[in-house]
């Protein structure tokens, strides 16, 4: 779909302020009031007029669910994989159901997974973390050792470098879960890596500009990655809790690395070893994988930071508008690996005009920010987009602008503006505008 | 246990700063460094020297858990009830495993439950919310209607009025989960109640000082409570998501009321009706229950706000110290229904001397705050306590101070300072000091 297919400019597309929304509704008897008030005045609703079964009997006791799961009616809000994407499910990925979530926290139970050799089961008692290489005192830590160091708590997003990667070649996947669902956002508790490196005798006051760390996991893939020492000492955490509780098996139980704002594969799970080196290791995962091939065939490496990005999660292909014209909440999420999100703009006409969205709360650095735009939808088709700006002033680019500098050979680091075509019947489709 | 049993004053009980902790360790080869370095120098650890099964085979694929649960090794981190506390489990309570959590977020899966007639299953399609009484236009909202109003997101604690209630009579229960586990802290998404009341034509600019709302749930108990209009228009939310996803059945799916800072029973689950009235209803749940009987037999009513409170979650009876003397992380949580926590102090000697704890991050208003105190434990017994201060300047009282003004007849609103007796062997016990 091209911009030529876009809807005509409608005279009043700009969403009213929240106050205006309400005032307008009350004063004019507009859409929502009419719709809801109607219910009280039309044929009696047995759900209101009759005593329902759930109000006339007892529910379930507190012994039923020592650890609870979502109610059965929400059984479509789950991680999903795409069976044609990888040869098997062991070295594969599934996607967070971001279309159905709100707020900023991602529950661990539905937070996407990416494994290189499957999720392993590793008991705390069997856990060891070695720090070796260019340190005064190589050390091995048990899990119980790690619990004795001063802890910090921080909320960070983790995004896979390949998130939205299939979109380089065009609008491929019909759903925000699949185009943008390789992301989650959790509150971590852990020990700053700086503390552990200092414990091993690294002189953090000295010149470490040529030093790196090489990190690897306890799974068969080991998924080794090199990280410059400057980042290692900045904000990297050795984490053991997420959203208050232990990490889930699939997220690295009992210990994973947290590398705020940087691509997800560096957040090594089942963390087993950290080696201080004087050069990067140039492992498989940073040479043949996780580099960005440009139009001329040259591959960029060390593209660690996840640039500012956003996506509208509702309406979207999996979340059509079912209520017709009138008040509509447009919502989505924005994030940046370089700091806090300071602004999100939304377009209803494929990027020709923009209006500022409302941030659900002030953006935390390197964490998901929820945004909303409350509009009075006139029922005509829309090309909806969101555009994030972060505290460095960086603005999320269009797909065309990104292709201009990067070509179309890349898999990773596609942070372009996403377009959903919302039709008059409320259904939405993944499209491109150019 | 009385203060007379306390440990002798030790000359250096004050915990060093984090920087001091590290410097001290590195400079003196103190406890932790010695403990960990020893491991690299003693007999080879097969967990380090040998390839382990989990590093030589494949783990579980991404299709295994569309919605994940904690790993089996964490199966003791669950909600627990106390079978002698209530006659059955339908009108009962279970407790959040706060002793095993860190950070601030409580996962829904282990967040405590309190039901008056059991947890009911109510489909979104069957959900109705009526607003009636002294409004211009009585309205009935479907779930889909609610999704069309401007949303907000906020993180709040919910504490049962009866939390710590059994402690009025003395040190009763051996575990933070049981003494303080009727609490959780979640990020909610919902519509401000003010918006819905205005939609029903309530003139929020007029004089509403004599107005109330009466709220009830769709379960058989209905659990009706009266709330003054000033609070209803201030920060009350009609919420449908918690920690990003739909509310769980046991927390009121699909819609509950969120009454920030006020006692948990007012956060009506399966919310079905809000009536605007010119007086409180004086329901069962606010007359025979949820009042505070004082020493003279008179009961206080309308004691809605949960005052500032805190508890050390580790070490605690369920979380003994297992590593002997040396570096020890003392951690816990603090909260206040009147605003943000600004300070937490910790005592190691039963309240004789105090030192400021480190807050995990700046306290949010009416939300849990995590605190830490990093000490070098000398291995002698301790009487550990925490004391919260909120932004109003209110300081959490001792149990004696609270009993002096309230007597010992109350069940609810016990926000006193908690004491754990930590023994030389690292075990901890619920005690009183006076």
- 3-state SS, one letter per residue, for chain A: CCHHHCCCCCCCCCCCCHHHHHHHHHHHCCHHHHHHHHHHHCCCCHHHHCCCHHHCCCCECCCCCCCCCCCHHHCCCCCECCCCCCCCCCCCECECCHHHCCCCCCCHHHCCCECCCCECCCCHHHCEEEEEECCCCCEEEEHHHHCCCCCEEEEEEEECCCCCHHHHHCCCCCCHHHHHCCEEEEEEEEEEHHHHHHHCCCCCCCCCCCCEEEEEECCCCCCCEEEEHHHHHHCCEEEEEECCEECCHHHCCCCEEECCCECHHHCCCCEEEEEEECCCCCCHHHCCCCCEECCCCCEECCCCECCCEEEEEECECCECCCCCCEEEEEEEEEECCCCCEEEEEEECECCCCCEECEECCCCCCCCCEEEEEEEEECCCCEEEEEEEEECCCCECCCHHHHHHHHCCCCCCCCCCCCEEEECCCCCEEEECCC
* B 352-411 → A contacts, CB under 8 A: 358, 360-361, 370, 372, 374
CB contact under 8 A, A61 and B103: no
- Alpha-helical (H) ranges within B154-272 are 176-180, 193-199, 229-234
Residue A21: predicted pLDDT? 31
Q: Do the beta carbons of residue B156 and residue B261 sit within 8 Å?
A: yes
- Integer CA distances (angstroms), A111 to A78, A79, A101, in order: 9, 7, 11
- Chain B residues touching residue A248 (CB < 8 angstroms): 68-71
Residue A83: predicted pLDDT? 87
Q: Residue B244 carries which DSSP code?
A: T
Give dist(CA B180, CA B334) in Å, integer.
Answer: 11
Lowest mean pLDDT among A38-52, B250-264, B266-280: A38-52
- Chain A residues touching residue B322 (CB < 8 angstroms): 144
Nearest CA in chain A to B377: A148
Q: Is A205 exposed, middle or buried (0-12, 13-18, 19+ CB in 10 A)?
A: exposed
Tell me which of B37, B47, B61, B254 to substitute to probe the interface with A (most A C-beta atoms closer than 10 Å). B61
- All domains of chain A in start order, with CATH: 3-14+306-431 (2.60.40.650), 98-290 (3.90.420.10)
- Chain B residues touching residue A331 (CB < 8 angstroms): 151
Q: Is the Cα torsion angle B37, B40, B45, B49 positive or negative in sign?
A: positive
Give dist(CA A123, CA A254) in Å, integer.
Answer: 7
Nearest CA in chain A to B64: A89
Nearest CA in chain B to A130: B48
Residue B7: predicted pLDDT? 28
Shortest distance, CA A259 to any CA of chain B (angstroms): 18
Residue B196: predicted pLDDT? 98
Mean pLDDT within B231-252 = 98
CB contact under 8 A, B108 and A68: yes
pLDDT band at B2 (very low <50, low <70, confident <90, very high): very low
- Integer CA distances (angstroms), B326 to B24, B35, B282, in order: 12, 9, 55
CB contact under 8 A, B118 and A187: no
Give dist(CA B235, CA B21) in Å, integer.
Answer: 42
Q: Residue B364 carries which DSSP code?
A: P
Q: Which of B383, B410, B391 is nearest to B312 (CA)?
A: B383
Segments of chain A with pLDDT less than 50 = 1-41
Structure-block tokens of residue A111: 């937070």
Q: How confident is the prediction for chain B on average, in pLDDT?
A: 90
Q: Is B82 exposed, middle or buried (0-12, 13-18, 19+ CB in 10 A)?
A: middle
- Integer CA distances (angstroms), B250 to A74, B111, B117, B118, B326, in order: 14, 9, 11, 8, 42
Q: Is the Cα torsion angle A426, A429, A430, A431 positive or negative in sign?
A: negative
CB contact under 8 A, B122 and A54: yes
pLDDT tens, position by position, B66-102: 999 999 999 999 999 998 889 999 999 999 999 999 9
Q: Which residue has the tokens 């070649």?
A: A169
Q: Do the beta carbons of residue B150 and residue A20 sit within 8 Å?
A: no
Nearest to A329 among B59, B70, B150 (CB): B150
* A 77-136 → B contacts, CB under 8 A: 77-81, 88-90, 92-94, 100-110, 113-115, 117-124, 126, 128, 130
Using DSSP's 3-state secondary structure scheme, residue B345 falls into: strand
Q: Do the beta carbons of residue B198 and residue A26 sit within 8 Å?
A: yes
Shortest distance, CA A262 to any CA of chain B (angstroms): 22
B339 touches chain A (CB under 8 A): no
Give dist(CA A94, CA A100) in Å, integer.
Answer: 15
* B 185-224 → A contacts, CB under 8 A: 187-189, 195, 198-199, 201, 218-220, 222
Nearest to B67 among A67, A109, A147 (CB): A109
Residue B22: predicted pLDDT? 29
Residue B42: predicted pLDDT? 55
CB contact under 8 A, A117 and B372: no
Q: Within its chain, how far is the Cα of B2 from the centroid?
A: 28
Mean pLDDT within B20-33 = 35
What residues form DSSP beta bridges with B128?
B142
A44 touches chain B (CB under 8 A): no
pLDDT tens, position by position, A210-259: 999 999 999 999 999 999 999 999 999 999 999 999 999 999 999 999 99
Indicate whether B19 pLDDT > 50. no
CB contact under 8 A, B374 and A57: no
Q: Write the Ramachandran bin of B175: left for phi over 0, alpha for psi from -120 to 50, otherwise beta.
A: left
Number of Cβ pairs < 8 A linking chain A and chain B: 388
Q: Which of A32, A273, A322 is nearest to B200 (CA)?
A: A32
Nearest to A150 among B35, B60, B374 (CB): B374
Residue A170: predicted pLDDT? 86
CB atoms within 10 A of CB A75: 11
Give dist(CA A140, CA A125) in Å, integer.
Answer: 13
Using DSSP's 3-state secondary structure scheme, residue B429 falls into: strand
Residue A47: predicted pLDDT? 93
Shortest distance, CA B70 to any CA of chain A (angstroms): 5
Nearest to B70 among A45, A67, A145 (CB): A67
- Chain A residues touching residue B370 (CB < 8 angstroms): 153, 189
* B 309-328 → A contacts, CB under 8 A: 322-323, 326-328
Q: Is the Cα torsion angle A402, A403, A408, A409 positive or negative in sign?
A: negative
Shortest distance, CA A190 to any CA of chain B (angstroms): 9
Lowest mean pLDDT among A128-132, B31-35, B225-229: B31-35
**pLDDT greater at residue A41 or residue B337:** B337
Whether residue B254 is preceded by a cis peptide bond, meaning omega within 30 degrees of 0, is yes
Concatenating the DSSP letter of every residue in B276-309 gives EESS----GGGTTSS-EE-TTS-EE----B---E
CB contact under 8 A, B153 and A79: no
Give dist(CA B324, CA B34) in Å, integer.
Answer: 13
Shortest distance, CA A35 to any CA of chain B (angstroms): 9
Q: Is the Cα torsion angle B239, B240, B246, B249 positive or negative in sign?
A: positive
């Amino acid at each position: 779909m091209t911009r030529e297919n876009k809807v005509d400019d409608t005279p009043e597309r700009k969403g009213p302020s929240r106050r205006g929304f309400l005032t307008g509704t009350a004063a004019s008897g507009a859409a929502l009031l009419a719709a809801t008030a109607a219910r009280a005045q039309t044929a009696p609703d047995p759900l209101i007029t009759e005593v329902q079964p759930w109000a006339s009997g007892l529910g379930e006791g507190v012994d039923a669910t020592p650890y609870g799961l979502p109610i059965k009616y929400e059984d479509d809000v789950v991680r999903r994989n795409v069976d044609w994407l990888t040869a098997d499910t062991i070295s594969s990925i599934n996607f967070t159901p971001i279309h159905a979530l709100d707020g900023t926290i991602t529950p661990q139970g539905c937070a996407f997974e990416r494994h290189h050799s499957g999720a392993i089961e590793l008991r705390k008692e069997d856990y060891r973390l070695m720090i070796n290489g260019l340190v005064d005192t190589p050390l091995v830590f048990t899990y119980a050792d790690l619990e004795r160091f001063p802890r910090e708590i921080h909320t960070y997003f983790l995004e896979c470098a390949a998130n939205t990667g299939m979109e380089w070649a065009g609008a491929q996947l019909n759903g925000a879960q699949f185009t943008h669902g390789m992301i989650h956002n959790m509150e971590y508790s852990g020990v700053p890596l700086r503390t552990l490196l200092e414990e091993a005798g690294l002189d953090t006051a000295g010149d470490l500009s040529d030093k790196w760390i090489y990190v690897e996991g306890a799974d068969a893939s080991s998924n080794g990655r090199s990280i410059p020492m400057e980042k290692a000492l900045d904000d990297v955490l050795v984490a053991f809790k997420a959203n208050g509780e232990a990490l889930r098996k699939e997220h690295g139980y009992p210990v994973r690395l947290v590398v705020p704002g940087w691509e997800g594969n560096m957040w090594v799970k089942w963390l087993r070893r950290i080696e201080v080196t004087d050069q990067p290791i140039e492992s498989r995962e940073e040479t043949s994988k996780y580099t960005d091939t440009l139009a001329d065939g040259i591959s960029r490496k060390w593209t660690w930071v996840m640039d500012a990005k956003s996506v509208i999660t509702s309406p979207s292909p999996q979340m059509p508008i079912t209520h017709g014209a009138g008040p509509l909440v447009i919502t989505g999420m924005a994030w940046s690996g370089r700091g806090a999100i300071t602004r999100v703009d939304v377009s209803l006409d494929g990027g020709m005009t923009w209006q500022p969205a409302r941030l659900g709360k002030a953006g935390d650095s390197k964490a998901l920010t929820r945004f909303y735009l409350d509009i009075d939808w006139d029922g005509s088709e829309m090309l909806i987009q969101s555009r994030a700006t972060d505290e460095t002033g960086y603005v999320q680019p269009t797909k065309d602008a990104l292709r201009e500098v990067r070509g179309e050979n890349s898999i990773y680091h596609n942070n372009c503006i996403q377009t959903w075509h919302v039709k008059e019947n409320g259904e939405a489709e993944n499209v491109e505008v150019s």
